[in-house]
């Protein structure tokens, strides 16, 4: 069998990077002698995270369009043209069999260049509402792997495959890791643990909420693992204490999920997919600052299945303490939410995606 070569592109946030790494890991399992190359955006977090996962990465000089008139925006046409030329060069030199994009700035020019060179491309769309880049790329893509139903209005119907989002395989069995996780964070095994996830960069409104509510949590004998994000770590690290662990970025997601009894989270598509597999009671606080309010739609899909609680940012002042305290005291409600969210999990998503990729070899 000839040696296969794959290029993957996904970046900007953990929600684009980790699905790409999960796909690469599964491909590597099935094709141990395959060659892999990642393509990301220079200065973005994928330039660190991908090499840490054991893969080579090349960076493009690309960034997104800002919503207001800025110097960055005026540079965009030049950056795009440069990135397209560089993408063509990478593809010419590496000669991939398939190119896979999981979203982020770099996947646009890369998949465009691959399509132009006649190389099969696969889009992995995580959200219930796709971004403009994937809508444009879908016209030439060979397969579009999606996590939500009813995406025919955005993509050519005959190319859509419902797969779910790829998640880290170390999340499949977290129950066995609870004791190790509690010890890792130096927590008390007899106390309830609240996990707060604001995303890899952080969520200002969630951080403000947690800072305000910390005394309430501690008075209810709740200990906290608080991911405040790298943009906010300097501001909030002062709250690190015996029952509060403030971190900027989480390397061992399996540990924080294993330690958690209740989770507060944004509703990015990858996080939602992970939380379905983890199966713990969740209060979603969607970001209102994303395209088409897709985080609210992501969370609402879980709430409709009675698998989570949804609080909008505008409701936090009046509702949060009441909702949180009621959930904390109601073991039956916690078990019900856990059972219902777990029913929505697609633990085999990454295997299904790789089957689609194999069809193009």
The CATH number covering residue 280 comes to: 3.40.50.2000
Looking at the fold, whether 142 and 200 belong to one and the same domain comes out as: no
Average pLDDT over residues 158-164: 96
Q: Which residues are annotated as a binding site for UDP-N-acetyl-alpha-D-glucosamine?
A: 13-15, 127, 168, 200, 250, 295
What's the chain's length in residues?
361
Q: What's the domain count of the chain?
A: 2
Query: How is the beta sheet containing 262-265 ordered, strand by strand?
Result: 244-247, 222-227, 192-197, 262-265, 282-284, 309-310
Looking at the fold, whether 228 and 151 belong to one and the same domain comes out as: no
Average pLDDT over residues 313-333: 97
Average pLDDT over residues 41-45: 88
The confidence score (pLDDT) of residue 2 equals 63
Looking at the fold, whether 320 and 239 belong to one and the same domain comes out as: yes
pLDDT at residue 176 greater than cutoff 70: yes
Looking at the fold, whether 117 and 257 belong to one and the same domain comes out as: no
What distance in Å separates the CA atoms of residue 115 and residue 121, rounded to the nearest whole number?
7
Average pLDDT over residues 225-243: 94
Looking at the fold, whether 226 and 330 belong to one and the same domain comes out as: yes
Looking at the fold, whether 198 and 136 belong to one and the same domain comes out as: no
pLDDT at residue 66 greater than cutoff 60: no
Nearest alpha-carbon partner for 267 in 300, 236, 245:
300
| Region of poorest pLDDT, from 252-261, 285-294, 350-359 | 285-294
Mean pLDDT for the chain overall: 92
Looking at the fold, whether 194 and 240 belong to one and the same domain comes out as: yes
Q: Which residues are annotated as a binding site?
A: 13-15, 127, 168, 200, 250, 295
Looking at the fold, whether 175 and 322 belong to one and the same domain comes out as: yes
Q: Is 132 exposed, middle or buried (0-12, 13-18, 19+ CB in 10 A)?
A: exposed
Looking at the fold, whether 202 and 231 belong to one and the same domain comes out as: yes
Looking at the fold, whether 351 and 340 belong to one and the same domain comes out as: no
Looking at the fold, whether 152 and 234 belong to one and the same domain comes out as: no
The confidence score (pLDDT) of residue 290 equals 81
Average pLDDT over residues 4-19: 89
Domain range enclosing 152: 5-167+347-359
Percent of the chain whose pLDDT exceeds 90: 74
The confidence score (pLDDT) of residue 170 equals 87
Average pLDDT over residues 47-68: 84
The pLDDT tens digits for 77-125 are 787 788 889 999 999 999 999 999 998 888 999 999 999 999 999 999 9
Looking at the fold, whether 36 and 98 belong to one and the same domain comes out as: yes
């Amino acid at each position: 069998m000839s040696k296969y070569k794959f290029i993957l592109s996904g970046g900007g946030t953990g929600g684009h990077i980790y699905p790409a790494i999960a796909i690469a890991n599964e491909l590597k399992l099935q094709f141990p002698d395959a060659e892999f190359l990642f393509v990301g955006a220079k200065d973005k977090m994928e330039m660190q995270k991908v090499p840490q996962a054991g893969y080579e990465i090349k960076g493009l000089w690309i960034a997104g369009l800002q919503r207001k008139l800025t110097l960055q925006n005026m540079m965009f046409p030049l950056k795009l043209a440069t990135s397209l030329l560089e993408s063509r060069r990478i593809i010419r030199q590496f000669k991939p069999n398939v190119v896979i994009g999981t979203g982020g700035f770099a996947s646009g020019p890369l998949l465009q260049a691959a399509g132009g060179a006649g190389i099969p491309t696969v889009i992995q769309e995580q959200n219930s509402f796709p971004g403009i880049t994937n809508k444009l790329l879908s016209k030439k893509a060979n397969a579009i792997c999606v996590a939500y139903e009813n995406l025919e209005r955005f993509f050519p119907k005959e190319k859509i495959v419902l797969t779910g989002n790829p998640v880290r395989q170390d999340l499949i069995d977290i129950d066995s890791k609870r004791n190790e996780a509690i010890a890792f964070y130096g927590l008390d095994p007899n106390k309830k643990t609240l996990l707060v996830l604001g995303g890899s960069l952080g969520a200002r409104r969630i951080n403000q909420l947690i800072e305000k509510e910390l005394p309430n949590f501690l008075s209810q004998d709740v200990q906290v693992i608080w991911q405040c994000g790298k943009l906010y770590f300097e501001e909030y690290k002062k709250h690190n204490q015996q029952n509060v662990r403030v971190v900027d970025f989480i390397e061992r997601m399996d540990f924080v999920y294993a330690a958690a009894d209740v989770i507060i989270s944004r509703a990015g598509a990858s996080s939602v997919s992970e939380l379905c597999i983890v199966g713990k009671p969740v209060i979603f606080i969607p970001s209102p600052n994303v395209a088409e309010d897709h985080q609210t739609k992501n969370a609402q899909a879980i709430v409709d299945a009675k698998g989570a609680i949804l609080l909008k940012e505008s409701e936090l002042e009046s509702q949060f303490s009441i909702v949180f305290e009621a959930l904390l005291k109601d073991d039956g409600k916690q078990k019900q939410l856990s059972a219902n969210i777990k029913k929505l999990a697609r633990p085999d998503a990454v295997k299904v995606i790789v089957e689609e990729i194999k069809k193009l070899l």
